[in-house]
Amino acid sequence: MTDQDLLEKFRQSTDNSWLGILLERYTLLLFGVCMKYLKNEEEAKDAVQQIFLKALTELPKYKVDYFKSWLYTIARNHCLMKLRDKGKQTVEINDRMSLAQSAEEENKQLFHQMKDREFTLMNEALNELTEEQKTCIEEFYLGQKTYQQIADKTGFNYMQVKSYIQNGKRNLKILLQKRLGQS
């Protein structure tokens, strides 16, 4: 039977089995068209099934003279719509990622500005300590030296180094709190 014969039998009886025979003829063609556009076997298989369903619902509404051309057009349009929708999702995902990256960059910049400010305030406060406290704190925290190493280097005794560090820490904390409260 020709495509026209099967279409005529379908129109007269509205029996979907005639249309099933017709669609079965073009399964491979539909799959090829879908693969051409979608470039993914699973998506192409799903698209063929969706196109079959669309053909079943749309064919009774129209007088189709050239079934193969009509079916090809349905398949092409279906695939183009899927690609368009996928493109929108990709653009939305890319937009969200760009926004997230922008926010992350802003946060990094803000963090660095805060760290720079804290470093400046720390240096200012450090310079207000007595020379002994400043030296011992710098050696202990920045130089990673022990109390004994600081005592050997500076000539202070062990108990003086301990006292300068403890008092220096306390004074540094007070000075930083004042500065942070002012700004």
Question: Which CATH code, of 1.10.3470, 1.10.10, 1.20.1740, 3.30.70, is assigned to 129-182?
Answer: 1.10.10
Q: pLDDT for 78-91, tens place per residue?
A: 999 888 887 766 65
- Rounded distance, CA 41 to CA 35, Å? 6
The whole-number pLDDT of residue 92 equals: 58
Q: pLDDT for 122-137, tens place per residue?
A: 888 888 999 999 999 8
The domain ranges of the chain are 3-90, 129-182
Amino acid, single-letter form, for residue 133? Q
Contacts of 7 (CB under 8 A, 6+ apart): 18, 22, 64, 67
Q: How many CB atoms lie within 10 A of CB 156?
A: 18
Phi then psi for 144, rounded to 5 degrees?
A: 55, 40
User: Quick one: what percent of the chain has pLDDT higher than 90?
Assistant: 28
Q: pLDDT for 96-123, tens place per residue?
A: 666 666 666 776 777 667 777 777 888 8
Question: Which CATH code, of 4.10.93.10, 3.20.20.70, 1.10.1740.10, 3.40.50.1400, is assigned to 3-90?
Answer: 1.10.1740.10
Q: pLDDT for 164-182, tens place per residue?
A: 999 999 998 888 888 777 6
